Amino acid sequence: MGRSRRTIPEELLLLALDPATGTTAQPQSLDLGLAGAQLVELALAGRIAPDGDRIAVVAPRPTGDPTLDCALELLRRRGAPVRAVHWIGGPRLGLRQIYLSHLERCGMVAAVPGQMCGVLPTTRYQATDTAISREIRSRLDSAIRTGVPPDPRTAALAALAHAVGLGKHLYPGNEGRSSRSRLRDLIRHDPMGGLVAHAVMDVQNGAAAQPRRGPAPAGRQAGPGPRTAPEPARGVPMQPHHGSMARAVAH
C-alpha cells in the first residue's frame, strides 16, 4: 500500500481539527471513529472483509503503514472473525495522539504548546496546509450537493463523519440541517463504511455491552435469562512515546 494517498483515519482527523482553536471536535467519539476508519482502510487495501457483522482477515500481509499493520496483526491473532462493534469498542490507547503525531511528522499539522488554566501543559495542532483540509471537505460537499454517488473512500469518510458526530461541526446550525441529513444518507453508498459506521454508533449507544439472546424455548416466554460476558475486545496499543507523541492533547 503506497503512501501517496492519505488514509481514511488521517482524513477523518483532519476533518475534526478546528482551524481556529487547534483542538479536535468530538474527541471521545473520534477515537472510536479512528478505530473504525482503520478497518475501512484495511478493507480497501484487500486485507480484511466483512463477514456478516464480523470482520475477517483475508490477506495478512503488511500494508506498509505501521499503525494499520499493528491493527491488522491484532485482528489476525484473534484467529476468527471478530464483531466490528467489539473491535471498535475495545480500548483505544493513544490512537488519536498517534495519528496527530504522524500528521505532524508528515508536515500536515504543527504542534503548538500551551497551557490550560495557566498551569497544565497542553498541545494544540494547527493545519499547516489548509488546501489539504479544503480538498477533503470539498469532496464531502460535492457528494452532498450533487447527489452523485461518491467513490468508496469518500462514502466511507462521510459515514464515519456522521457516526462520530462531525456533522454539526462541519455543517452547524439550522442552515446546515439539510446538509447533515444528506451526510447521514451517504452511509448507504459503501457497505463496509456503513457496517463500521453503524458499529461506531452502536458502541456509543452501549450496544457493544449487550449480550445476544437466542430464541425462547417452545412453549415458554422469553425472559431476561442469565447475562453473558461480551467478547473481549482489543484495540491498537499505545506505541512507545517519541518526541511529540508524549505531549498531551487539549480537547
What secondary structure does DSSP assign to 116-175, as a single string?
A: ETTTEEEEEEEES-HHHHHHHHHHHHHHHHH-PPPPHHHHHHHHHHHHTTTHHHHS-TGG
Closest CA to 143 of 161, 119, 129: 161
Would you write out the chain's pLDDT as a tens digit for each of its 251 residues?
434 478 999 999 999 998 778 888 888 899 999 999 999 999 999 999 999 889 999 999 999 999 999 999 999 999 999 999 999 998 766 889 999 999 999 888 988 887 666 677 788 888 888 888 899 999 999 999 988 889 999 999 999 999 999 999 999 999 999 999 999 999 888 899 999 999 999 999 986 555 444 444 444 444 444 333 334 433 333 333 333 333 334 44
If 0-12 CB within 10 Å is exposed, 13-18 middle and 19+ buried, where does residue 61 land? exposed
Cell of 228: 453473558
**pTM of the predicted model, to two decimals?**
0.78
